[in-house]
């Protein structure tokens, strides 16, 4: 795992400063503190901050091909590199390292952009072809690793994180109001937008090819589901066996590393299954890590301890209080580089710190199972709403709504209001966004706190509906929307890559192996959501080796305290200044009167609604983002004791 950055000047001999390249990559020091590398020629500069995981002694970046006409910087892991290397050697390619990085470069040399289809991994790639004067940037299929770029008429810059651009003299960031509206609707800016003007992200499953001043961004892989009436399986046993085979192999290949590998253990089905696979099907020693909350509403430590005891792991726990969350929140936003509507990334930030302090660089986690196997309540919500819509006058069908979101006490106690809440826009069954209408409509209510009047009528013009969407099952449509709007831009970023890499920890996600994703996407709905029982295939598999208290557990979404994190006797010291009239005027984003009213309500021990809590987090995180990145009141890291290797090809 690494951080990467670079500059491509469209005109040759417009030499790129080595000092600038150095400052850009040092800004990403946290992503790869072990060593640094810089390559420069007449037109391009590439930089890498390395977190050494594979070929510790020989894997320094940037890496070249045999004749040094191609150079690569790489963030991520290619899990099938061991299988790919012999194929390339048979074609005459010679290797000087044992890394997956060099495998990618020779694949590109052999197949061009088609090389991306060979890769099973999580990656952000930069390849410079000096013969063709072409720069390739590419991102993995699911968007696990980030990659950003910005360009002018004269140059293109790219980096694993946006903060790298701040090291370039004269570069300035401004918040993008359209992207902010997306955050306060979908929980994240939708690719290719980012929260900043003129900075874009390469969408998952896409590559960018730049030659001279011509930029082309194209998909090499798209998320797709089988049509509703298409199925050719021989039977349930074959489906189950194939699922188990793929999941075990996806876990095994993600244990490939020259350093110890740990696992997150939340106490839920997904992470418990991954940890149990490691224990049952491999010889890998295993340490496990988890979060325990002081707030009982969010705490799952009893299940975590039960699983750790059952598996016999050396288990490490970070005990997280609301005050801890409030205290580290500014650092979290520095790393997320985006406003967020939940505090959930903050405990993940503290957890990765614990992992690193215990000497681990790599952890396996259970992310992705809910998306590919329909584990979230939003999928049940869609199914119940469509069932009620078939007989809207029924007094019995709406009772099913009581089975939704059991982790939110205020919803459980809502009574008659519950029926009214879930019956909004009930009959819009032909709307392609039907499954997510209530969530998005609710979230947009936070837009009222902005100074600029935003319509809370969600137009969804940012969401691309792919060909064949109308032929998919209604569950498949909902899964697609959840993956493209929420999993990739929020869960794998603000709650995944960013808080982990803040402490130089690489997360790996077996459920997001593209082979498993594609397989599950071809399955009929009943293999995922059977009645209102989620993740049918996974539960069937886990029932063979997990305790019943774990494999029978209903999904409990990971959540963290909000109101008590910012409004308590130990209120964070930065909060008063952050939401002061002066600071609100300076940012010119929010309505000061509306913000003051909301924060006064929160300060007066008043219970906040779900929407109000999201608004609190959204406002605080947006103001922190403005302070950190627009006003630059957060220092870039510009020092290191690690070696910096410089390869300078400019003729003196």
- Cα distances from 155 to residues 18, 130, 139, in angstroms, run 16, 16, 20
Q: How far apart are CA 37 and CA 97, in angstroms?
A: 16
Tokens of 366: 């259970």
Strand partners for 78: 121
What's the start-to-end Cα distance of the chain, in Å?
Answer: 34
How far is the C-alpha of 608 from the C-alpha of 39, rounded, in Å? Answer: 53
Specify the 3-state DSSP secondary structure of 208: strand
**Lookup: tokens for 454:** 């935003």
| Residues 542 and 276: beta-carbon distance below 8 Å | yes
Asked if 2 is an active-site residue, the reply is yes
Q: Are 186 and 491 in contact (CB under 8 A)?
A: no
- Reported as half-sphere exposure (CB side, CA atoms, 13 A), residue 593 has a value of 1
> How far is it, in rounded angstroms, from Cα 567 to Cα 325?
11
Give the SS3 label for residue 44.
strand
Q: What is the CA angle 471-473-474, rounded to 5? A: 115
C-alpha–C-alpha distance, residues 516 and 520, integer Å: 6
Among candidates 642, 622, 495, which has minimal Cα distance to 28? Answer: 642
CA 111 to centroid of chain Cα atoms? 29
Instruction: Check: CB of residue 61 under 8 Å from CB of residue 37.
Output: yes
Report the candidate in 59, 628, 31 with the shortest Cα–Cα distance to residue 332. 628
Q: What pairs with residue 363 in β-bridges?
A: 262, 507
d(CA 38, CA 18): 8
DSSP letter (8 states) at residue 196: B
Structure tokens at 473: 């099952």
Q: How many other β-carbons are positioned within 10 Å of the β-carbon of residue 170?
A: 4
139 alpha-carbon distance from chain centroid? 12
Report yes or no: 382 and 529 within 8 Å, Cβ to Cβ. no
Q: How many CB atoms lie within 10 A of CB 557?
A: 14
Question: Could you write out the three-class secondary structure of 232-298?
Answer: CCCCHHHHHHHHHHHHHHHHHHCCCCCCCEEEECCCCHHHHHHHHHHHHHCCCCCEEEEEEECCCCC
- Give the H or E element holding residue 601: helix 592-603
Tell me how far apart the alpha carbons of residues 344 and 561 are, in angstroms, rounded to a whole number.
8
**Is the CB of residue 6 less than 8 Å from the CB of residue 73?**
yes
Catalytic residue among 2, 115, 210, 320: 2
> In this structure, what token pair is assigned to residue 339?
């406003």
Catalytic residue list: 2
């Amino acid at each position: 795992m690494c951080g990467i950055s670079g500059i491509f000047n469209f005109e040759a001999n417009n030499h790129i400063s080595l000092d600038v390249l150095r400052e850009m990559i040092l800004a990403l020091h946290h992503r790869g503190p072990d060593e640094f590398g810089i390559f420069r020629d007449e037109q391009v500069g590439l930089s890498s901050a390395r977190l050494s995981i594979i070929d510790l002694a020989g894997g320094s970046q940037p890496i070249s091909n045999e004749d040094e006409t191609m150079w690569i910087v790489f963030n991520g892991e290619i899990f099938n590199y061991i299988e790919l290397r012999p194929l390339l050697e048979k074609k005459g390619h010679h290797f000087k390292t044992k890394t997956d990085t060099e495998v990618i470069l020779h694949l590109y040399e052999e197949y061009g952009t088609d090389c991306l289809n060979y890769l099973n991994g999580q990656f952000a790639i930069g390849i410079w072809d000096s013969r063709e004067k072409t720069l390739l940037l590419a991102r993995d299929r699911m968007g696990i690793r980030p990659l950003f770029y910005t360009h002018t008429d004269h140059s293109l810059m790219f980096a694993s994180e946006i903060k790298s651009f701040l090291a370039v003299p004269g570069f300035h960031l401004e918040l993008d109001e359209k992207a902010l509206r997306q955050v306060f609707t979908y929980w994240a800016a939708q690719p290719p937008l980012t929260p900043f003007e003129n900075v874009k992200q390469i969408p998952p499953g896409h590559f960018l090819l730049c030659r001279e001043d011509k930029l082309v961004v194209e998909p090499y892989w798209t998320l797709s589901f089988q049509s509703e009436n298409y199925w050719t399986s021989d039977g349930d046993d074959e489906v189950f066996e194939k699922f188990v085979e793929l999941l075990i192999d996806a876990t095994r290949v993600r244990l490939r590393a020259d350093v110890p590998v740990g696992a997150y253990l939340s106490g839920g089905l997904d992470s418990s299954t991954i940890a149990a696979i490691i224990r049952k099907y491999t010889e890998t020693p295993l340490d496990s890590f988890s979060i325990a909350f002081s707030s009982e509403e969010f705490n799952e430590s009893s299940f975590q301890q039960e699983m750790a005891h059952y598996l016999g792991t050396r288990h490490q726990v970070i005990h997280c209080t609301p005050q801890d969350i409030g205290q580290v929140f500014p650092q979290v936003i520095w790393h997320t580089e985006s406003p967020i509507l939940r505090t959930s990334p903050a405990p993940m930030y503290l957890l990765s710190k614990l992992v690193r302090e215990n000497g681990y660089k790599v952890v396996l986690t259970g992310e992705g199972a809910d998306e590919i196997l329909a584990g979230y309540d939003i999928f049940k919500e869609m199914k119940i709403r469509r069932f009620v819509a078939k007989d809207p006058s029924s007094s019995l069908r709406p009772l099913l709504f009581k089975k939704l979101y059991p982790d939110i006490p205020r919803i459980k106690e809502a009574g008659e209001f519950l029926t009214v809440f879930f019956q909004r826009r009930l009959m819009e069954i032909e709307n392609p966004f039907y499954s997510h209408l209530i969530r998005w409509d609710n979230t947009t209510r936070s837009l009222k706190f902005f100074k600029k009047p935003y319509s809370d009528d969600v137009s969804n013009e940012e969401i691309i509906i792919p060909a064949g969407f109308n032929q998919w099952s209604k569950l498949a449509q909902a899964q697609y929307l959840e993956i493209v709007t929420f999993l990739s831009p929020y869960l794998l970023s603000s709650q995944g890559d960013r808080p982990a890499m803040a402490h130089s920890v690489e997360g790996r996600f077996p459920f997001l192996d593209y082979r498993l994703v594609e397989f599950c996407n071809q399955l009929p709905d009943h293999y995922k959501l059977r009645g209102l029982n989620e993740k049918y295939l996974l539960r069937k598999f886990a029932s063979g080796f997990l305790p019943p208290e774990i494999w029978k557990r209903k999904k409990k979404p990971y959540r963290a305290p909000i109101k008590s994190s910012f409004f308590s006797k130990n209120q964070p010291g930065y909060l008063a200044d952050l939401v002061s009239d002066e600071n609100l005027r300076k940012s010119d984003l929010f309505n000061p009167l509306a913000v003051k009213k909301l924060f006064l309500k929160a300060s007066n021990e008043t219970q906040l609604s779900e929407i109000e809590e999201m608004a609190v987090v959204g406002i605080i995180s947006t103001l922190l983002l403005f302070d950190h990145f627009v006003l630059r009141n957060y220092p870039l890291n510009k020092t290191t004791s690690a070696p910096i290797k410089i390869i300078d090809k400019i003729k003196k």
